[in-house]
Amino acid sequence: MRTEPADVSSERVAERHLPMLLAWLSEPHVRQWWGDPDVELGLIRDGCANGEVDGFVFHVKGEPAGYIQSWIPSQYDEEPWAKDLSSDTPGVDIFIGPPEMTGKGVAAPVLKAFAGRLFENGAARIVIDPDAGNRRAVRAYSKAGFVPFGEWIDKSGRTLLMELTRTEFERN
């Protein structure tokens, strides 16, 4: 499956999406990197409700394919790597839901489309923070134009810090 930006659409997370999100969060390929499905669903639900995150279910060729959100990392003390980021630098998190859609080149075009929206809304830079061991994610983020700018090591492991600037985005 080759995904083009025109094949990608999204809609804000709504109450009706929660059962599907829980099912996806329970899939081993998502749970490995996101953690306990019930906890993560609560964070998504509450974050979307209170405006801490801007969450979307994205579709590829009309089919629900995953979840993507933006947030402001500098607002979270539990993310010490983000303390030097400006308050207008959004972070992005993403997962592909259906296992059969992983490894199909879906994440990069979804990230590009989402980044375009964030840049249109005034972001000059976007960051993403995959676990350094999540090679599949790092490859997908690189294909979307993100480049490493640092790493953070703590008791939970090694986080690769990646960024996409407006300038780089507009070049591609």
Instruction: Give the model confidence (pLDDT) of 77-130 as tens digits.
Output: 778 888 889 889 999 999 999 999 999 999 999 999 999 999 999 998 999 999
* Stated pTM of the model: 0.92
Among 107, 85, 135, which Cα is nearest to 5's? 107
Residue 23 to residue 32: CA distance in whole angstroms: 14
More confident residue, 68 or 86: 68
Residue 129: how many other CB atoms lie within 10 Å: 20
Identify whether the C-beta of residue 96 lies closer than 8 Å to the C-beta of residue 106: yes
CA 10, 15, 21, 23 torsion-angle sign: negative
Q: Say how far apart CA 158 and CA 132 lie, in whole Å.
A: 6
Choosing among 3.40.50.300, 3.65.10.10, 3.40.630.30, 3.30.565.10, the CATH entry for 5-171 is 3.40.630.30
Q: Average pLDDT of the chain?
A: 92
CB 158: neighbour CB atoms within 10 A? 11
